[in-house]
A and B are shown apart, each in its own frame.
Chain A
């Protein structure tokens, strides 16, 4: 079974630009969560999607948004990039997500650098 796939692996953008990251979950998994990882803050929850609906959202500004498609693939968008958005963005999938106590399967992440 293929794991969680994130593309691209690396991105370099400049301030003010926008970026879209992609995540393909494990086949059969309907929940996709996104996390931001930085050396100072660690892993922080961005949002979770289940069956094309955002089910939960972390404490991030509205510049961070996402969506999920009918095949459970998900995209995350960051508009008007700031230097502080430089981070590793991780996607994780599970079968049900939410309050179901499942382990998450993570992708290898997209390393975003904002110059």
Chain B
């Protein structure tokens, strides 16, 4: 069965304290791994797509990496405005459905 597991469920950081979020997956025929950010009361907002092991993408303080079994979202020197729930999703190969993890809720304190 295709699965996506994110850890930790919640993460509290001080402003400037770098850390990483993990997304591990088991899926037949990975067609892409996606990271989204979701703020309270809003829908998820796209951050990155990764397609193959070894690929990396960056945007401001965020950097996403991909291996054959997991992806990491590295947050460097976070700011309070980075507080949100970060969702990982994989697109499986047969129907193209997006399978989401349950997310990591990040809180960054000033």
Contact = CB atoms under 8 A, between A and B. Distances in A.
Interface of A: 4, 33, 35, 41-45, 48, 56, 58, 90, 92, 97-101, 103-109
B87 interface: yes
Nearest to B91: A101
B106 to A, nearest CB: 16
Contact of A43 (B46, B87, B93, B95): B87
A5 B41 CA distance: 14
A101 B32 contact: yes
Nearest to B100: A43
Contacts of A108: 41-43
The 3 closest A-B pairs by CB, nearest first: A106-B43, A42-B102, A43-B100
Contacts of A58: 97
Interface in B35-77: 36, 41-46, 49, 51
8 contacts: A35-B100, A42-B103, A43-B89, A45-B97, A56-B95, A99-B93, A101-B49, A106-B45
Most chain-A CB neighbours within 10 Å: which of B41, B44, B87, B101?
Answer: B44
A99 B32 CA distance: 10
A3 to B, nearest CB: 9
B98 A42 contact: no
B34 interface: yes
Nearest to A33: B98
A35 B89 CA distance: 13
A80 to B, nearest CB: 26
Contact of A104 (B41, B95, B98, B102): B98
Interface in B3-60: 31-32, 34, 36, 41-46, 49, 51
Contacts of A103: 34, 46, 49
Given A45-B97, A97-B96, A99-B31, A107 B43 contact: yes
B84 interface: no
Most chain-B CB neighbours within 10 Å: which of A42, A56, A92, A97?
Answer: A42
Contacts of B102: 41-42
